A = this chain, B = another copy of it.
Amino acid sequence: MFSELEGTLHQETIDSVLLRDNPLGDPHVRPLWVYTPPGYAESSDRYPTVYVIQGYSGQVEMWGNRQAFRQPFVVTADQVFAHGRAPGCILVYVDAWTAYGGSQFVDSPGTGKYHSYLCDEVVPHVDARYRTIAAAGSRAISGKSSGGFGAMITPMLRPDLFGALATHAGDALYEYCYLNEFAKSARALREYDHDIMKWWTDFNSRVSLTKEHDMSLTLLLGCTAAFSADPDGTPRLPFDPRSGVLIPELWDRWLAWDPIRMIDRYADALRGLRAVWIDAGTRDEWFLDLGAEAFKDGLLRIGVPQERISYELFPAAHGGIDYRYPLAVEWLAHRLDRSS
């Protein structure tokens, strides 16, 4: 796979200690793809690194999926360097899949310690094995959708590790991206005695994704496990599943993870970023274009200099926007610190 690259894709695994005994019984040995750019093998240079995380339901192997008339991101990212559009970077494709389809890249008793796994295991693992520049100013994180969310929050939580980010249609402004999902899910759960776990049992007992609301409910269950699980791991829906009425103490736990609402709490971290790429499609089904606008506005408000931000809304919906990713990689590659 990917024999056409001018750089090299190293398809490895990482054995996570932090994911052992995770609550969903997901594997603790995870695939990890590390891309080294053209010229890496021939030199002894150290390189900046861009961590690439995926949207909901993403698994690292999906980066190998072929789509008609398009090339996979692994290929288009390689071309950024192979065609000389930007100086070389190491790219790290991280797997944070769970049985529910995703982890939101946070630590939660409902799913596992995916944030810590990323920051405290994957990063050191890569730094130990590849000639990275192991400093925040030389390390970025990038993703789309839930991956865009992860790309926004991880540098807030760990400015010591990440000094740049790219978010494509990242989850933000939760009243717009999630409440509609709650409402639709409340309806969908009418068939399941208003009990999402009954739906989950059903989902697992038949061919998956054959009912209309399967994907929505999967996303809801996974985010619930990530944001409002009980200490014993039980996911607690942040709303009454009959009426949709929000349960403030649980919904507040979700809102505490809204990147827009995190900006003030993490203003110092954000002001320390070298480069922030923000984009989204103008017709995004989850209104993540509004989330993008709000995130950009928030950064400017707290004093992030405009010249560190690339902001663009482009005509598209949520799907099919993978062609944006290499644009961000190229932009980041020019801005990451190369002085090791």
Contacts and interface: CB of A to CB of B under 8 A. Distances in A.
Q: Interface size class for chain A?
A: 35 or more
Interface of A: 1, 57-59, 61-62, 64-70, 101, 173, 175-176, 179-180, 182-183, 186-187, 190, 207-210, 218, 240, 242-246, 260, 282-283, 287, 289-290, 293-294, 297, 315-316, 320, 323
Nearest to A176: B183
Contacts of A315: 210
A69 B209 contact: yes
A140 to B, nearest CB: 23
Given A57-B68, A64-B66, A175-B179, A242 B209 contact: no
A68 B323 contact: no
B66 A282 contact: no
A145 to B, nearest CB: 13
B57 A66 contact: no
A291 B282 CA distance: 29
Given A183-B176, A207-B323, A290 B69 contact: no
B175 A210 contact: no
A208 B70 contact: yes
Given A61-B66, A65-B66, A69-B218, 19 more contacts: A57-B68, A58-B68, A62-B65, A62-B66, A62-B67, A62-B68, A68-B101, A68-B209, A70-B208, A175-B175, A176-B244, A183-B287, A186-B290, A187-B282, A187-B289, A210-B315, A240-B294, A242-B297, A243-B294
A42 B183 CA distance: 52
A315 B68 CA distance: 27
A27 B112 CA distance: 47
A216 to B, nearest CB: 13
Contacts of A245: 173, 260, 290, 294, 297
